[in-house]
A and B are shown apart, each in its own frame.
Chain A
Amino acid sequence: EIVLTQSPGTLSLSPGERATLSCRASQSVSSSYLAWYQQKPGQAPRLLMYGASTRATGIPDRFSGSGSGTDFTLTISRLEPEDFAVYYCQQYGSSPATFGGGTKVEIK
């Protein structure tokens, strides 16, 4: 199965700053079938991106995704207070679908 490694484990930033989250796959992700989720404490994950770069319904355009093959990035252009959360990447290009270990974006 494909192993996803997310870095950094924790990102300490201030509101208004730019956040860059990395997701690296142990082998190429077919057709860029890579999704990103946001999870806040006590809540279910929320789909942010799919197909590596397509925003899900209702996701603000400060969120963007890029990458292909084995290297993918989620960028939050200007952090809003509600963006401080844990972010997971997931590949669904090969079975089984697998998730990364998460990056926590915390307030500095």
Chain B
Amino acid sequence: QVQLQESGPGLVKPSQTLSLTCNVSGRSINSGGHYWSWIRQHPGKALEWIGCIYYNGRTHYNPSLKSRVTMSVDPSKNQFSLRLSPVTAADTALYYCARSLCYAGSCYSDSWGQGTLVTVSS
């Protein structure tokens, strides 16, 4: 059974870079068939899909965040990562990584990490 675990700083200063890593266990990222996604949830609010990456590095990003987002994958470590820069207070949210199935650049997610809270504040 696949398990995902997010890690990274819980506090980021405005205008700086948010960097998160998702460690995947129970399934090799290299095995294909799934994309690997980042999704966020603002406090008390609905979910927002950030983007996804395939093991070969192919990415799909939400156009609303595309100019600030970079995703990468490290199959040797069975990890994938998110960078968001520059950040503002509006990027304060609970960030989830997830395993996804995608169609034409749009995905649903069948396994999720527990989430990590990132606060943007000076």
Query: A residues touching B (Cβ–Cβ < 8 Å)?
Result: 1, 31, 33, 35, 43-47, 50, 56-57, 88, 90-102
Contacts and interface: CB of A to CB of B under 8 A. Distances in A.
A99 B47 contact: yes
- A interface majority secondary structure: loop
A50 B47 contact: no
Contacts of A43: 114
Contacts of B107: 92, 97
A99 B106 contact: no
A95 B61 CA distance: 9
Contact of A90 (B45, B60, B64, B108): B108
B40 to A, nearest CB: 11
A45 B71 CA distance: 22
Contact of A99 (B46, B63, B111): B46
A56 B115 contact: no
Nearest to A57: B110
Given A94-B104, A96-B63, A97-B108, 7 more contacts: A43-B114, A44-B115, A45-B112, A91-B106, A92-B106, A95-B63, A96-B62
